Amino acid sequence: MNKGNLDLIIPDWPAPANVKSAVTLRTGGVSDGPYESLNMALHVGDDGERVRKNRQIVNTQLKLPSEPVWLDQVHGNGVTRAERGLVRPRFDASFTEESGIVSAVLTADCLPLLICAADGSRVAAVHAGWRGLLAGVIGNTVATFPGRDLLVWLGPAIGPECFEVGSEVREAFLSKSESSIEAFKVGRNGKWLADIYQLARSELAGLGIARVYGGNFCTVTEAGRFFSYRREPVTGRMATLIWRE
């Protein structure tokens, strides 16, 4: 892994000029072993000092206005306001209308979403695995915005050819919305292949949100760029960040 070369994904979406965002990849940090090299998570077994160094590298590179609000993600549907001084609140999404506050989520196959108001007045970051999607974490986050004139960007997640689920997962989504049927195709040995991006788009369409961007990654197959829990159960996490200037 190429340490010292910090690569980032800067979302390609027509967000207002005051809205800034980025996604870290797995290169450019100081972690070793399965966490090599830019692991951003303290909860996965990596050396804490190295994680803090990785975070400082990213803070410096992006010139972040403050330390990101790191969540204690629980694969639920809870949403909190991102504020200075919060210490790992147990939520899966955060939002803010305050300038200089950085909302962040950590992922390694689950879907990170960025949301912003079209006028740049509010932003949010969402961690959406299939459980969170099913539980309504996207809808709960959208509900924190005063209106529905929103832009959404879908970040790096497990691709539709790699996300194998049981029939119970498919049935749960179909029970919630019949439009979810488009997100599943027959896999092997009685399993289904799920398209987590399509599940998110279906949810957003039901909420009246049409301007959705991104969603063309695969964390499992792009091993040189992304951490993947499904590929390697002991691994690091990428960070997806958004803030207002």
Find out whether 89 and 105 touch, Cβ atoms under 8 Å: no
DSSP-assigned beta bridge partners for residue 19: 244
Tell me what the pLDDT averaged over the chain comes to. Answer: 96
State the pLDDT at residue 33: 97
CB within 8 Å of 105: residues ≥ 6 apart: 71, 73, 92, 93, 112, 125, 126, 127, 239, 240
DSSP string spanning the chain? --TT---EE---S---TTEEEEEE-S-SS---GGGTTT---SSSSS-HHHHHHHHHHHHHHHT-SS--B-----SS--EEE--TT--S-S-SEEEE-STT-EEEEEESSSEEEEEEETTSS-EEEEEE-HHHHHHTHHHHHHTTSSSS-EEEEE-S---TTT-EE-HHHHHHHHHH-GGGGGGEEE-STT-EEE-HHHHHHHHHHHTT---EEE----TTT-TTT---TTT-SS---EEEEEEE-
Q: Would you state the pLDDT for residue 1?
A: 44
Q: Which fold has domain 8-158+209-244?
A: CNF1/YfiH-like putative cysteine hydrolases (3.60.140)
What pLDDT, on the 0 to 100 scale, is given for residue 2?
A: 46
Whole-number Å distance between alpha carbons of 42 and 52: 8
Q: Cis ω on the peptide bond leading into residue 37 (within 30° of 0)?
A: yes
pLDDT at 87: 85
Q: Give the separation between CA 70 and CA 82, rounded to whole angstroms.
A: 9
Cβ-Cβ contacts under 8 Å for 148 (sequence gap 6 or more): 142, 207, 208, 209
Structure tokens at 187: 């896999």
Tokens of 7: 């690569």
pLDDT tens digit string along 166-212? 999 999 999 999 999 999 999 999 999 999 999 999 999 999 999 99
**Largest Cα–Cα distance of the chain, in whole Å?**
50
* Domain spans, the chain: 8-158+209-244
pLDDT along the chain (245 residues), means of 10: 74 98 97 97 98 98 97 98 91 98 98 98 98 98 96 98 98 96 96 98 96 97 97 98 98
